[in-house]
Amino acid sequence: MWKMKITGIIPARYSSTRFPGKPLAELAGKPMIQHVYERAASATTLSEVIVATDDARIMAAVEKFGGRAVMTSPEHPTGTDRLAEVAANLDSDLIVNIQGDEPLLASEAIDAAVQPLMADPDLPMGTLKHRIEDPSEVTNPNVVKVVTDQKGLALYFSRAPIPYNRDSDGSPVYYKHIGLYVYRREFLLTFARLAPTPLETSEKLEQLRALENGYKIMVVETTHQSIGVDTVEDLERVRQILATAQ
């Protein structure tokens, strides 16, 4: 029986304005990139996991713990471009973009995002959402919100609170977007060649490029929470969570 080949790719660069060397930051005795890699490798839907990097230090760290890494161009403006460079040389059916700064990402969340594209060949792209419980996240522009139609397809992503509660006679349900993406390989290569679009440029959200060009994005709700590490303070939060779990 034919089995889909599904590759998880973790884009990881050393340079970062807010947190240089972030992928190699130590967490519970391991570099952060190792935590992400091991969680991704335990996803049942993935055939393989690859770290895509432009830095020899990250490549050496991945190889030291037995992972697979490939060097990519240092000129890529986004992680998606780095992803596409690697995907162009693969024979995979689906490519999963796994953020290298989310060491608490659950493997079950990866599997949940992949399932719709395994079931429906007409879906080019998928991602995840999580119900917002903390009211402060609704107005936080660093927390991206998403609204979907009744089939789960994305209508819009925004840094603003969406939907807007005009009459204030009830509390709408808000969802945060979790930045894990699943692509059909051919669509990813097409997507990476598309020019930036007006809404994408305004919101600084790359996924809007797909919507503005008429492509569907399936959004799966997950109960698994994750923390993106953007600062040293975020890293300390994750350290405390991991220490409590041990």
What per-residue confidence (pLDDT) applies to 246?
A: 61
For 104, residues 6+ apart whose C-beta sits below 8 A from its C-beta are 35, 39, 225, 226, 227, 238, 241
Judging by DSSP bridges, how do beta strands 6-12 and 48-53 pair with one another?
parallel
The full length of the chain comes to: 246
Residue 179 token pair: 């930045």
In the numeric block, the tokens 């402060």 are attached to 136
Give the Cα separation of 96 and 162 in Å (integer).
26
- Closest to 126 in 3D by CA, of 15, 241, 45: 45
Amino acid at 227: I
Each residue's pLDDT tens digit in the chain (246 positions)? 458 999 999 999 887 767 788 899 998 889 999 999 999 999 999 999 999 999 999 999 999 999 999 999 988 888 899 999 999 999 999 999 999 889 999 999 999 999 999 999 999 999 999 999 999 999 999 889 999 999 999 999 999 999 998 887 778 999 999 999 999 999 999 999 999 999 999 999 999 999 999 999 999 999 987 888 878 888 888 888 887 876
| Buried/exposed code over 24-63 (b: 16+ C-beta within 10 A; e: otherwise) | bbebeebbbbbbbbbbbeebebbeebbbbbbbeebbebbe
Distance CA 93, CA 126 (A): 14
What's the pLDDT at 2? 57
Rounded alpha-carbon distances, angstroms, from residue 71 to 55, 94, 212: 7, 21, 31
Backbone angle region of 87, left / alpha / beta, with phi > 0 → left and psi within -120 to 50 → alpha: alpha
Q: How far apart are CA 235 and CA 25, in angstroms?
A: 8
The rounded distance, in Å, linking the Cα atoms of 79 and 57 is 18
Q: What is the pLDDT of residue 1?
A: 47
Please tell me whether residue 28 adopts helix, strand or coil conformation.
coil
Q: Which of 15, 82, 185 is nearest to 24 (CA)?
A: 15
100: tokens are: 């290298």
